[in-house]
Amino acid sequence: MTGLRVPRLNRRQLPLLVVGAAVVFALAYVLLIAQKPPATGGGNWRTTTFGSAVDDPGSFLRVFLDSITFAGALFIVASGFALIFGLMRVVNMAHGAFYLLGGYIAYEIQQAMTGQGFAIPTSQVNTWEWVVPLLVAAPCIAVVGLITQQGFLRWNQGQELRQALITIAISVIIADQIIAHFPRATSTVAQKFGGSAVSLSWPGWTDRFVNLHVAGVQYSLARFVMLGLGIAVGLALWLWLYRTKTGIVIRAGVDDQKMTSALGVNIQRTFAIAFALGSALAAFGAVVWASQANIASGQDGQWLLNSLVVVIVGGMGSIFGAAVGAILYAFVLNFSATYLPSVGSDCCTQYSIVVTFALIALVLAFRPQGLFGRPG
Amino acid sequence: MRWNALKWSPKTTIERGVGATALVLAALGPLVFNQYWAHEILIETFLFGIAAASLIFLSAYGGMVSLAQTALFGIAGVILGNLATRGGPGGTSKGLHLGWDPTVALVIAIAMTTVIGLMFGAIAARSVGIYFLMITLTYSVITTYFLGQVTLVSGFSGIGGINQYTPGWIGDLIGHPNRLYYISLVAAVFTYVLIRYVVRTPFGITLQGVRDEPVRMSSLGYNVPLHRTLAFGFAAFLASLSGVLYVWWSGQIAPGNVDLPETINLLVIAVIGGLARIEGAWLGAFAFIIIQNYVRSFSFPFLGFGGTLFGGSFNTVIGIIFLLIVLISPGGLMGIWDRAFAARTRFGRAQPSAEAPATTGR
């Protein structure tokens, strides 16, 4: 058999090729193909808000930085979810409610410390007035998580569905009680209670723009701090999981729970630690993101979705997967909101959520266990 | 044993007796109950029961607990709203208001929802258990955001006035709520009978095999993901019935009808009723809606509540009830009944000898 061998695609490679082509097209679109809308209005499929990265590198860089810094906050929240899920196979549906509660607790403490009432100018907040709320809110939520785990989940171990239902019930109760009790410190009566939107403030020194000397971009220092905190949490988790004894036990527990406990390890203690820490990370993420944006009743669902997408995409129960999932999701979210064609008022940036759905669908079509998850 | 000519076990006899009584009462509904009960509570029970039955079907026979049923319910309502309503003076301002013939719109809304359900199912079909729950939850939340963002089809305020556009063979539902009552009742009975039928077909039997032994079924040559996908599509069809009835009943559909709290509410209905038995769907819906309608006026000591503006004490109460049901009886109210009867048989006065032939006889 001589002659030219034409490579033949089998059934598995074809869809992969299609996906590859779609990804290449998306990159090419953002980098080269897109155009700025004409001054006369209207547009076609090439029209986007900022045009291509070549046209407008500054806007591209800003969206890029928005994505990567948002991924930092996203990772902090989702890593807690992934930690709990990876070790205990518990889908903590109350993660979003923990996030919300942590954010409101931190808000109350910051208000009490600064004594300013509703909106505090960032310049009047010093570093301690940001760190102390964090250091109070995170342990508070760790305790709430611990109570949930010890009181309700521990004796239902192995019944995954039942545990998920229990955490849903707890999230319903917490979310309703938040509406009844928060926020307390507000300037007007109308804003009091009812879970109305409030925001924390970053410390004053972060309230400036950094000149990047690239395409004239000035970028918020606070958002870089957010990214830095995300990386710090990632590094700390890595050191904890790969360089300490508790971490070794946790990884062993992820691999084989029964064998680990048969070897004389107190797996219940490890579970309690992991659940408390995972819950505290939800509060940590809430403090970070509520300083950047705000916190309001109803965001529990949004952050539960964020955590779910990150974990589904990145791989069930892998911290590294959570990092990759957070980055992918943040990029898809930010770029689809700005780089989808903007032809008219009805098209197409409002369809950005569909791209998120497509991301999940694509990943699950090829790897039901997520990008870095292990089968089974 | 002459009385037991049908060879039903005592438990089946009681259940069928209760079921028949409930059905007769429901059939006489508008005559027996006052207007509020018939047109609000019972219609709502029937239609949410259908949605809950689709969830329970997937859970009991497919081993998949789906949180996407509320989303599919909403999708059907939104599609119907877009197709059937008319714009212009006196018409709706939101959505596409295409003004199609309502019967055509009805068929297309159900068909499209079923197709979307098949698509959702195909993506999630290779995942099981807790992963399935997570993936379907993302469907639900994504649907909410999609409807909220895409002002072309819905937007945050949703579509209203859909109940003015009903098919000619149904007629005016606003003026004649009894019609909607009987349509909902018939749809509920149809759903129940259809599920009972489907689970006895070869497809239904295979699905139960897939639920219990996916690996074994796969090695026997059955296409496991395909069966899960089809089951999901069937459940989407049922959910679409419920969505259509809902928009006829309330007249409007908005992202707020499919958001996370509503998704959880449907799960609560199914869990209160019992995830293992189809009958539980309507039992759960009835219990839930009674609580929803009557708990709002109470306030409880020691717990803070959001006040009437924010839904009152309802969510905390339903959360506590849900928690108790999950902790005490994972089988829900139907599970409590099953266990109570089993306990009576074991410890009570019932004679095992009377029981044995009845059970073997079937």
B56 touches chain A (CB under 8 A): no
pLDDT at B301 over 60: no
The verdict on residue B314 lying in a domain is no
Arithmetic mean of pLDDT, B328-339: 86
Q: Is residue B24 part of a domain?
A: no
Mean pLDDT for the stretch of residues B75-92 = 83
Confidence of residue B299 (pLDDT cuts 50, 70, 90): low
Whether residue B263 is contained in a domain is answered as no
Q: Is pLDDT at B35 greater than 60 in this prediction? A: yes
Q: Which residue of A has its CA nearest to B315?
A: A176
User: Which pLDDT belongs to residue B355?
Assistant: 42
Question: Would you call A213 exposed, middle or buried from its count of C-beta atoms within 10 A (0-12, 13-18, 19+)?
Answer: exposed
Span B326-354, average pLDDT:
76
**Ranges under pLDDT 70 in chain A:** 1-12, 41-42, 116-120, 187, 317, 344-346, 375-376
Is residue B282 in some structural domain?
no
- Whether residue B12 is contained in a domain is answered as no
pLDDT at A367: 82
Residue B195 lies in a domain: yes
In angstroms, rounded to a whole number, what is the distance separating the alpha carbons of residues B174 and B180?
9
Give pLDDT, residue B186: 95
Give domain status of residue B168, yes or no. yes
Whole-number pLDDT of residue A2 = 57
The b/e string for A289-314 (b: 16+ C-beta within 10 A; e otherwise) is: bbbbeebbbebbbbbbbbbbbbbbbb
Closest partner residue to A164 (CB to CB) among B130, B141, B150 is B130
Return the percentage of chain B with pLDDT > 70, whole number: 88
Whether A256 and A239 have beta carbons less than 8 Å apart is answered as no
**Which pLDDT value is given to residue B359?**
37
Which residue did the predictor score with more confidence, B290 or B309? B290
Q: Please give the pLDDT value at position B360.
A: 36
pLDDT of A316 reads 73
Domain boundaries, chain A: 58-300
CB A352 within 8 A of CB A337: yes
Tell me which of A258-267, B31-40, B76-85 is least confident.
Answer: B31-40
Residue A298, token pair as written in the block: 């109803």
Query: Hey, are the CB atoms on B138 and A361 less than 8 Å from each other?
Result: no
Contact B80, B268 (CB under 8 A): no
Nearest CA in chain A to B126: A368
How many contacts does A have with B, using Cβ atoms within 8 A? 135
B124 interfacial to chain A (CB closer than 8 Å)? yes
Which one has a higher pLDDT value, A94 or B334?
A94
pTM comes to 0.88
Radius of gyration, CA atoms only, chain B: 21
Task: Tell me if chain A has a CB within 8 Å of the CB of B151.
Answer: yes
pLDDT for B108 = 96
- Asked if the Cβ–Cβ distance from B145 to A353 is below 8 Å, we say yes
Q: Residue A345: its pLDDT value, please?
A: 66
Query: In the prediction, which pLDDT does B357 show?
Result: 40
The reported pLDDT for the residue numbered B164 is 86
pLDDT of residue A9: 61
- Partner A, chain B 303-322, Cβ-Cβ below 8 Å: 303-307, 309-311, 315-316, 318-320, 322
Please give the pLDDT value at position B88: 67
B354: pLDDT confidence band, cut at 50, 70 and 90? Answer: very low
Kindly give, in sequence order, each residue whose CB lies less than 8 Å from that of residue B282, ignoring residues fewer than 6 positions away.
B45, B46, B49, B52, B53, B188, B192, B273
pLDDT digits (tens, 9 = 90+) for B194-224: 999 999 999 999 999 999 999 999 999 999 9
Instruction: Categorize the per-residue pLDDT at B313 as very low, low, confident or very high, splitting at 50, 70 and 90.
Output: low
Q: Is the pLDDT of residue B348 over 70?
A: no
The arithmetic mean of pLDDT across residues B313-323, rounded, is 83
Q: Per the structure block, which two tokens stand in for A213?
A: 């000397």
Determine whether the interchain pair B65/A180 forms a contact, defined as Cβ–Cβ distance below 8 Å.
no
Of residues A165, A176, A354, nearest to B315 (C-beta): A176
What are B42-61's pLDDT values in tens digits? Answer: 999 999 999 999 999 999 99
Domain residues for the domain of B111 are: 30-258
Q: What share of chain A is helix, strand, coil (3-state, %, to 5)?
A: 70, 5, 30
Higher pLDDT, A329 or B29: A329
Is residue A34 within 8 A of residue A46, CB to CB? The reply is yes
pLDDT at residue A149 in the model? 94
| Rounded CA separation A72/B201 (Å) | 51
Flag if B306 and A165 touch (Cβ within 8 Å): no
Predicted-complex ipTM score:
0.86
Q: What is the distance between the alpha carbons of residues A61 and A246, in angstroms, rounded to a whole number?
A: 40
Instruction: Give the residue among B290, B315, B71 at the shortest CA–CA distance from A168.
Output: B315
A364–B149 C-beta distance less than 8 A: no
pLDDT of residue A153: 92
Indicate the pLDDT class of residue B307, thresholds 50, 70 and 90.
very low
pLDDT of residue B302: 54
Q: State the pLDDT at residue B220.
A: 94
Tens-digit pLDDT profile for residues B154-173:
888 888 888 888 888 888 88
Count how many residues are written for chain B. 362
Of B141, B311, B326, Cβ closest to residue A301: B141
| Domain count within chain B | 1
Task: Check pLDDT > 70 for residue B93.
Answer: no
B150 touches A: beta carbon within 8 Å:
yes
